[in-house]
Amino acid sequence: MSDARAVAFVTGGAGGLGSAICTKLANDGMRVVVGYHHSADAAHKLVVALTGAGHSARPAPVTDSAALTALASAIAHDYGRCDALVNSAGITRFVPHADLDALDDQLIDDILATNVRGAFAAVRAFRTLLANSPLAGGGVVVNVSSIAAEIGMGSNVMYCASKAALDNMTKSLARALAPRIRVVSVSPGLVDTEFVKSLDQTWRDEQASRAPLGRLASPQEVAAAVAAVINTLTCTTGSVVKVDGGRALG
C-alpha cells in the first residue's frame, strides 16, 4: 500500500533552523528528507529522532547542481513525490560592514553561491516533482530569508545582499511557476538558536531590545511559519512572511 503522506525536502536540514523545521514538519505528519552537506552525523541523528516513519537523510550540496538533479531523481524513485522544498541552507561570516577588505572575493562568491544560486538550483532540480504535487494549494517552495534583506543590517554586507536577492527571486519564481507551485520567503530576525545563545549575553539582549516585541524569535516559531506557508496559507505566493518581533519596523 502506497504512503499518501506528503514529502518535504529541507536543505541545510541539520542546522539550528533546519532541524527545527524538519521536526515541525514531521510532527505535522509529513515525511521529511533532511538534506545536508558537511553535517552527515547530525542529519542521521535527527532522522532517528523525528516523529513518524519514512524520513531520510540525503547529501545535498546546494552548490552542486548535478548532485541536486540526481537527488531529485532519487526522491522521485524512493517516495514518488515531493510536495515542499524548504531552502534552509545558507552560510555567512561576521565581517564589520565598514571593513570592505575583510569581505574578500572568495567569501563573497561562497555566500552568493550557497544563499542565492543554491536556492535557485534546488528549485530548478525539484520543479517537476513540485508541479505534480497533489498538496492543497499545489507544491510549495519556502525560502528561508532574513530581515537583513530589508534593513541592510546583518553579519556582513554580502549576506544582507544575498537575502535581498533571495526575496526578489521568490517574487520572480512565484510569478513564473504559478499556478502549480507557490513560492514564499519566511524572513526571521535574529533567531535564538543554540549558537546565538552561546554569544555575549549583553549583545544578545541589545539585539532583542531592538524589536518592538522585545525578544528574539525561537527556532520553533520560524518552523511554525514555514509549516503554515506549506499547509495553511494556500492562497499565498510571492510574499515575504516576517518572523522578527517587528524588528524591521525600525
69: amino acid identity, one letter: T
User: Which residue among 9, 79, 126, 159 is the active-site one?
Assistant: 159
Eight-state DSSP code of residue 218: P
DSSP string of 174-189, one letter each residue: HHHHTTTEEEEEEEES
Give CA separation, 17 vs 10, 12, 14, 24, 82, in Å. 10, 8, 8, 11, 21
- From CA 7, how far away is CA 127, in angstroms rounded? 14
Residue position matching grid coordinates 567569501: 107
Nearest Cα to 142, choosing from 33, 15, 228, 247?
Answer: 228
The answer to whether residue 159 is catalytic is yes
Instruction: Name, in order, each residue with C-beta under 8 angstroms of 34's C-beta and a sequence gap of 6 or more.
Output: 10, 13, 14, 18, 22, 43, 46, 47, 55, 56, 57, 58
Instruction: Name, in order, each residue with C-beta under 8 angstroms of 175's C-beta and a sequence gap of 6 or more.
Output: 238
Q: Which residues pair with 143 in a beta bridge?
A: 87, 185
Supply the residues annotated as catalytic. Answer: 159
